[in-house]
Amino acid sequence: MYIKDIRVVKNNLRNKFKSLRRNMPPKQKHRMDVEIQSRFLSLRQYHQNDILFTYVSKDIEVDTMAIIAAARANQKKVAVPRCIPGEIDMEFFFIQGEEDLEPGMFGVLEPVPGRCDKVTDFSRGLCIVPGLSFDAEGFRLGYGKGYYDRFLAKFQGTTVGLCYSNCTQWRLPHGRYDRPVDLLITDRYLRKTMRP
């Protein structure tokens, strides 16, 4: 009963934040993306890590393509995920640029396995974690599929959430196995998250 209620609450929140993002004027979104990208690229953790794990953004997400291009220009290795068909799991592959991407599951651009090297070491690096919303403790509201929850359970590097300030909340519902991000960046601030 409790779990069902939490699922309903999460789905309502997902719909709310998807709607907020879809209705954001393009100029406002672009301005917020640039603010977030600038804060991210100024991070000490960004400069200290030579490997960047990141999602490839969809239209309603904070744009990561500019971050990917900047990381490649900064001589960093960039790894992006590919969902494994039939499983709730994903693999990461190193890419050189957009030419290594193709449409995959859920309409997201994914790496072409035959063209890219597969990542096998998840003991270090900086990972940008997707989310429709984040809270003050770093917990996120994802899309409800569970792919990143599984990945974060084995990832040992530093995690960062990128989110529009109007899509953050003080507290989000989460489970005991959910892992909060270490840092949260919005168009208004950078916050080291408040771990419970």
**DSSP letters along the chain, please?**
-HHHHHHHHHHHHHHHHHHHHHTS-HHHHHHHHHHHHHHHHT-HHHHH-SEEE-PPP-TTSPP-HHHHHHHHHTT-EEEEEEEPTTSS-EEEEEESSGGGEEE-GGG-EEE-GGGSEEP---SS-EEEEP-SEEBTTS-EE--SS-HHHHHHHH--SEEEEE--GGG-BS-----TT----SEEE-SS-EEE----
CATH number, domain with residue 24: 3.40.50.10420
pLDDT in tens, 112-124: 988 999 999 999 9
The β-bridge partners of 48 are none
Angle subtended by helix axes 65-73 and 26-41, to nearest 10: 30
Q: Please report the pLDDT score of residue 86 as a whole number.
A: 81
- Measured distance CA(156)–CA(177) in Å, rounded: 15
**7-28 mean pLDDT:** 92
Residue 163's pLDDT is: 97
- Of the candidates 129, 135, 139, the one whose C-alpha atom is nearest the C-alpha of residue 161 is 129
Structural domain boundaries enclosing 70: 2-192
Q: How confident is the model at residue 147 (pLDDT cuts 50, 70, 90)?
A: confident
Residue 104, Ramachandran bin (φ over 0: left; ψ between -120 and 50: alpha; else beta): beta
Tens-place pLDDT, residues 21-75? 999 999 999 999 999 999 999 999 999 999 999 999 999 999 999 999 999 999 9
Q: Is the pTM of this model over 0.95?
A: no
The average pLDDT across 129-138 equals: 94
Mean pLDDT of the chain: 91
Q: For residue 2, what pLDDT band results from cuts at 50, 70 and 90?
A: very low
* φ, ψ (nearest 5 deg) of residue 195: -65, 140
pLDDT > 60? residue 4 = no
- Domain count of the fold of the chain: 1
